[in-house]
């Protein structure tokens, strides 16, 4: 059985897609996507040898070597322009996901949908989307094994469309903020607690310039999130 996290990612793959799963590791996602009829073909990209081996083994074990091409390379370097129409990148930090997309921009023509699952730093992914005219069309937040995950889905378009209160929505997610489900509230209440604790620690530390700057930055974020959650 696939994790709820990856199942959620897979649920957004359009039927009949050609997929690139970047940082595929065990290649569970493309195997599942094919076996459940989402995709007709896939590339599983991996930069590291261990995960690359386990991807190859998994694809062979599933008898899908003719469907899923396992390739070694950095980010989108493993695909040719126009080769796929859907890209998934899951289980990495938002900064790395944004860097991979930025470095592989020339491979994105012909790609209709991005499904991204940052473990942290979803705001960095949303900002990248906005600067590059990818329109966020759906978001999910879920909890599995005590960890909270976000899934962001985008299509080519006007990157600015879903945003009204831009600063708060880039941080929290416009769809997630509207929905305000229990997992979302748990995540942000926890973040607020942590930020407030750091602010107290910084205050005790004294008034060095960098401590003050950090404290101000956190206080601003706290205010933004508290107002958004009201």
92 touches ligand SAM (CB under 6 A): yes
Span near ligand SAM by CB under 6 A; candidates 92-100, 174-182, 187-195, 212-220:
92-100
Least distance to ligand SAM, CB of residue 51, Å: 4
Could you say which of 35, 40, 57, 74 contacts ligand SAM (CB under 6 A)? 74
Eight-class DSSP state of 85: S
20 touches ligand SAM (CB under 6 A): no
Could you say which of 11, 41, 47, 221 contacts ligand SAM (CB under 6 A)? 47
35: left (phi over 0), alpha (psi -120 to 50) or beta: alpha
104 touches ligand SAM (CB under 6 A): no
Exposure of 59 by Cβ count < 10 A (0-12 exposed, 13-18 middle, 19+ buried)?
buried
87 touches ligand SAM (CB under 6 A): no
Element of type H or E holding 88: strand 86-92
Closer residue to ligand SAM in complex, CB, 12/177:
12
The per-residue b/e assignment along 110-141, b for 16 or more CB within 10 angstroms, e otherwise, is ebebbbbbbbebbbbbbbbbbeeebbbbebbb
What are 155's two structure tokens?
């299509």
Summarize as ranges the residues that interact with ligand SAM (CB under 6 A). Answer: 6, 22-25, 45-48, 51, 74-75, 90-92, 96, 100
């Amino acid at each position: 059985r696939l994790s709820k996290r990856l199942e959620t990612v897979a649920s957004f793959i359009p039927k009949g897609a050609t997929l690139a799963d970047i940082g595929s590791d065990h290649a569970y996602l493309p195997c599942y996507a094919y076996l459940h009829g989402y995709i007709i073909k896939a590339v599983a990209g991996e930069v590291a040898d261990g995960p690359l081996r386990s991807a190859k083994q998994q694809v062979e074990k599933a008898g899908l070597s003719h469907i899923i091409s396992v390739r070694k390379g950095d980010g989108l370097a493993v695909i040719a322009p126009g080769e796929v129409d859907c890209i998934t990148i899951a289980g990495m930090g938002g900064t790395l996901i944004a860097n991979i997309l930025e470095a592989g921009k020339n491979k994105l023509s012909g790609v209709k949908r991005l499904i991204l699952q940052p473990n942290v730093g979803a705001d960095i992914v949303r900002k990248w989307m906005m600067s590059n005219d990818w329109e966020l069309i759906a978001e999910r937040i879920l909890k599995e094994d005590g960890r909270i995950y976000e899934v962001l889905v985008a299509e080519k378009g006007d990157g600015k469309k879903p945003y009204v209160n831009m600063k708060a929505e880039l941080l929290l997610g416009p769809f997630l903020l509207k929905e305000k489900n229990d997992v979302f509230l748990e995540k942000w209440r926890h973040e607020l607690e942590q930020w407030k604790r750091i602010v107290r620690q910084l205050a005790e530390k004294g008034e060095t310039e960098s401590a003050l700057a950090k404290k101000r930055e956190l206080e601003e974020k706290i205010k933004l999130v508290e107002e958004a959650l009201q």
